[in-house]
A and B are shown apart, each in its own frame.
Chain A
Amino acid sequence: MDSQITVEKLLSNMDTLPELPEVAFKVSQLLDDPSTDAKALGEVIILDPGLLTQVLKLCNSAQYSLSRKIATISEAVALLGHKALRQIVFTIISHSVLNRAVNGYGLETGALWENSITCGMYAKQLALKLGFADTELAFIAGLLRDIGKIALGYHLASKSQAVRQIIRGQRLSFLNAEEQATGANHSVMGAYLSTRWNLPDKLTLAIQYHHTPSKLPAETSAEDRKLVALVHLADIFTMMNGTGTGIDGLMYTLDGQIFEMLDIPANGDTLELWYAELLDLQSEIDVVLNTFGSN
């Protein structure tokens, strides 16, 4: 069955669909345009009750170590820049979507959120290390890569026994087991939601191929391939760390093509050292989680 039709059929069986606030799309569009001024941005952000307060709270958190307290969006733009503000806004609006229990994956409230923030921070750090220009975009891609689990988890909840049997009997990865049990996997489901939410194509690609970067369409640009590959690596390191992982645990594979895509040697010692360095981000991750009172 065509995966698009399967995803639509699965989503149509749900009482409510996960939604990203509309302001996300507007902010995303505004922040993608370098000519957007702080006033226009402030006018959009203030439309969402609570968003402005949260934005300022994160701007003033230890994560950004600003020398003075900021009180307006204009100041935030001036001191942090468009890209950092985009990261902050996406972090806040993602919280409402990701900070929930996902029964089909054995995730209690907060687990997927912690896992997603960890992956976002790892992706950003890897982007910095690998010379990927838009490190904040890498953060957002890492943050949102598993949004499909929220929708697919609804259907997996009643099929956990079948999934276990499929994995045990056929030695399949969890992604393949999801497909066998439901007809779709969380990457495809996430990409569908991303399109539905009008997120940029780059993010949709990263969400859809975060487990299988080597399957990206041939026409994908080198820059986008790099983004997806580094999100894949960040995802692998997040699984190894274990933070907020569910019943799917580490039942995924490392895509060997990423070394070529990222132009790095396939060297185990280098990867281990990177992993050791990423573990040092825990205090920064805790700062973000504490801002939301979930850690």
Chain B
Amino acid sequence: MVAQTTKEIIVPVGEFCLSSNSHEILKALRVAASIVVVAYDPTAGRGGIAHMALPESKIASGNDRAPGKFVDLGLPLFIEAITKHGGDKAHLQIKIVGGSQLFNFGGGSGNLLNIGTRNAITARTILNREGLPVEKTETGGNKPRNVMLDIATGQVQVSHPGESPRII
């Protein structure tokens, strides 16, 4: 019998991905100001990654208002999708990663473009509203992060460019 190889799936910004295939690893790479919400149901062996760029959709209209780009639209859709496809809300392990900020941003330009911080706050608010406790958070700072979810184990690894991954 030939062992099945692991397949890595990159989740670009503005999209989410669900999987119940234990041979798949979902990845979001170089997550900077964006925010990644990882959800995993260990009882169903099902999980997913949502990779969103901006906190609130109110700034956009028409074609610019793609739901996956915005936390306020994309995150509820992600949660709905994962529960619809066999994930149990009561068992979901939720982790939030990303939301980096430009350096020393309190200076002359005030709080313009503090998207990273607001992405993290908005994600927490929505998850709280959905009744989903956040198990781990790794947000803020000034470095991008790579995030990896192993569907076989639910293990989430995070790394900064040029550094070794850590399990969170």
Residues of A at the B interface (CB closer than 8 Å) are 105-107, 111, 171, 173-174, 236, 239-247, 249-256, 266-269, 271-273, 275-277, 279-280, 282
Give me the 4 closest cross-chain CB pairs, A-B, nearest first. Answer: A106-B162, A242-B32, A256-B108, A242-B30
Whole-angstrom CA separation of A244 from B111 in the bound complex: 25
Instruction: List 7 extra interface pairs beyond A249-B143, A254-B109, A254-B112, CB under 8 A.
Output: A171-B104, A242-B30, A245-B161, A250-B116, A253-B103, A273-B59, A282-B14
B115 contacts A251, CB within 8 Å? no
Whole-angstrom CA separation of A188 from B115 in the bound complex: 29
In the complex, what residues of B have CB within 8 A of residue A277's CB? 64
B105 contacts A279, CB within 8 Å? no
The answer to whether B124 has its CB under 8 Å from any CB of chain A is no
Interface 0/1 of B96-113, CB less than 8 Å to A? 000011111101111111
Whole-angstrom CA separation of A254 from B111 in the bound complex: 11
A sample of 16 cross-chain residue pairs with beta-carbon separation below 8 angstroms, ordered by A number, consists of: A106-B162, A173-B103, A236-B113, A240-B32, A240-B113, A241-B33, A244-B30, A249-B32, A249-B142, A250-B144, A251-B143, A252-B103, A254-B105, A276-B69, A279-B13, A280-B66
In the complex, what residues of B have CB within 8 A of residue A256's CB? 107-109
B32 contacts A245, CB within 8 Å? yes
Residues of B at the A interface (CB closer than 8 Å) are 12-14, 29-34, 53-54, 59-60, 63-64, 66, 69, 100-105, 107-116, 141-144, 160-163
Whole-angstrom CA separation of A280 from B54 in the bound complex: 13
A250 contacts B162, CB within 8 Å? no
Whole-angstrom CA separation of A256 from B160 in the bound complex: 28
Nearest CB of chain B from residue A164's CB, rounded to whole Å: 11
Q: Number of contacts between A and B (CB, 8 Å)?
A: 122
B69 contacts A247, CB within 8 Å? no
Whole-angstrom CA separation of A277 from B65 in the bound complex: 9
Nearest CB of chain B from residue A272's CB, rounded to whole Å: 5
A272 contacts B103, CB within 8 Å? no
Nearest CB of chain A from residue B14's CB, rounded to whole Å: 6
In the complex, what residues of B have CB within 8 A of residue A252's CB? 102-103
- Asked, given contacts A250-B32, A251-B142, whether A276 binds B109 with beta carbons under 8 Å apart, the answer is no
Whole-angstrom CA separation of A267 from B30 in the bound complex: 27
Whole-angstrom CA separation of A252 from B53 in the bound complex: 19
Which of B29, B33, B63, B111 lies in contact with A268, CB distance below 8 A?
B111
A239 contacts B102, CB within 8 Å? yes
Which of B104, B111, B141, B160 lies in contact with A247, CB distance below 8 A?
B160
In the complex, what residues of A have CB within 8 A of residue B161's CB? 106-107, 111, 245-247, 249
In the complex, what residues of A have CB within 8 A of residue B141's CB? 249
Counting chain B CB atoms within 10 Å of each CB, the highest count among A105, A236, A246, A272 belongs to A272
A251 contacts B13, CB within 8 Å? no
In the complex, what residues of B have CB within 8 A of residue A251's CB? 103, 142-143
B59 contacts A254, CB within 8 Å? no
Whole-angstrom CA separation of A27 from B34 in the bound complex: 39
Counting chain A CB atoms within 10 Å of each CB, the highest count among B30, B110, B116 belongs to B30
Whole-angstrom CA separation of A236 from B105 in the bound complex: 12
Which of B33, B54, B162 lies in contact with A242, CB distance below 8 A?
B33
A253 contacts B104, CB within 8 Å? yes
B13 contacts A240, CB within 8 Å? no
- Asked, given contacts A106-B161, A106-B162, A271-B112, whether A253 binds B144 with beta carbons under 8 Å apart, the answer is no
Whole-angstrom CA separation of A254 from B66 in the bound complex: 27
